[in-house]
Structure 1
């Protein structure tokens, strides 16, 4: 089993989900007492959030690269960034280490395409929905067409993430607001919805959307287990 290095704490609410999914996946494959070999670097998200909203992406990149190097030095054999937004600096992180970084958009796009879907709605932070590091990868490397919400709806999605979900608050009214936003993206042609924020799995379930939902947290962690156990024999 490969040791997985997790760059987390952004927020810890979703990092906890990563830890759960990784360990459940290994247990299902190897037996009831088996668990994942993993290392976690957990940031103080208050510091990360401040830098994000100040637009200090250089400072954030330096911190992320440092975390990746520390995990590699500690024995990590593959890396996961436990947040969609911070994949903005994925190229710099991969260039700084000698172990593979599993980009969250790649396994997600693989699952979307395997379902025969090519036009997707994207929900996430304003950074993920508006900047090209994520949408561009889905389009250029995977051939997907990406629909994002309107300006007003993007503001709502972003606010709910930062004011509620990252602090563990799940509000019924916010779920209703997201359902309406999804309905508008479907009207605009979306055939599925990508939950492009790792906290969104806390709020939304398949029944909240008239089209398929692709949860990046679950997909990312599940594929990481598959890769980590690629040369490991399952329990008999």
Structure 2
């Protein structure tokens, strides 16, 4: 079984959900008392939120790269970033760390395509809805048209 390197803490509750779902799927697939081989690097979300708010994406990438390198050194075979928003820096993380990333945008796109959909609505954080990284990847890589609420409709 491969070792999953989770970059979490953004927020801790989303990391908990990733941990729970991954282990639930492993138990369902393998049966018995099987669980996933996971290494978790939990970041301080206050620091992440600050660099996001200040649009310091190079700093955000550096933080996740440091986490990814630590996970690689600890024995992770691949990475998972436990939040949508920080996928904005996913390419930089993959380039610098040298491990594959199970990308949530690609997984979402594949699930959309499996259902035969080509036009979807996207609701998420302001960063996810307003920045190009999420919509652009779905549109460019899979030809999926992505609609987001207008600025006045976003909370």
Shorter-chain TM band: over 0.9
In structure 2, C-alpha distance between the alignment counterparts of 1:131 and 1:8, rounded to whole Å? 21
In structure 1, C-alpha distance between the alignment counterparts of 2:54 and 2:99, rounded to whole Å? 31
1:32 aligns with 2:32: yes
Q: Could you tell me how far 1:100 is from its partner in structure 2?
A: 0.8
What is aligned with 2:57?
57
What is aligned with 2:101?
101
In structure 1, C-alpha distance between the alignment counterparts of 2:124 and 2:103, rounded to whole Å? 16
Q: Could you tell me how far 1:32 is from its partner in structure 2?
A: 2.2
The DSSP-based 3-state class of the residue aligned with 1:76 is: coil
In structure 2, C-alpha distance between the alignment counterparts of 1:25 and 1:130, rounded to whole Å? 32
Matches within 5 A, 1:53-202: 53-154=53-154, 156=155
Q: Could you tell me how far 1:127 is from its partner in structure 2?
A: 1.0
Unaligned runs of 5+ in 1: 157-236
In structure 1, C-alpha distance between the alignment counterparts of 2:61 and 2:97, rounded to whole Å? 13
What TM-score does the superposition give when structure 1 sets the normalisation length? 0.64
The DSSP-based 3-state class of the residue aligned with 2:2 is: coil
Name the larger-Rg structure: 1
Once superposed, what is the RMSD of the aligned Cα atoms?
0.8
In structure 1, C-alpha distance between the alignment counterparts of 2:107 and 2:54, rounded to whole Å? 30
What TM-score does the superposition give when structure 2 sets the normalisation length? 0.97
Q: Could you tell me how far 1:54 is from its partner in structure 2?
A: 1.1
Structure 1 consecutive aligned stretches of length 4 or more whose deviation exceeds 6 Å: none
1:16 aligns with 2:16: yes
Q: Could you tell me how far 1:98 is from its partner in structure 2?
A: 2.5
Aligned length: 155
Note the alpha carbon deviations across 1:9-47, whole angstroms, 9 max, x for none. 101111101000111111111122111000001111111
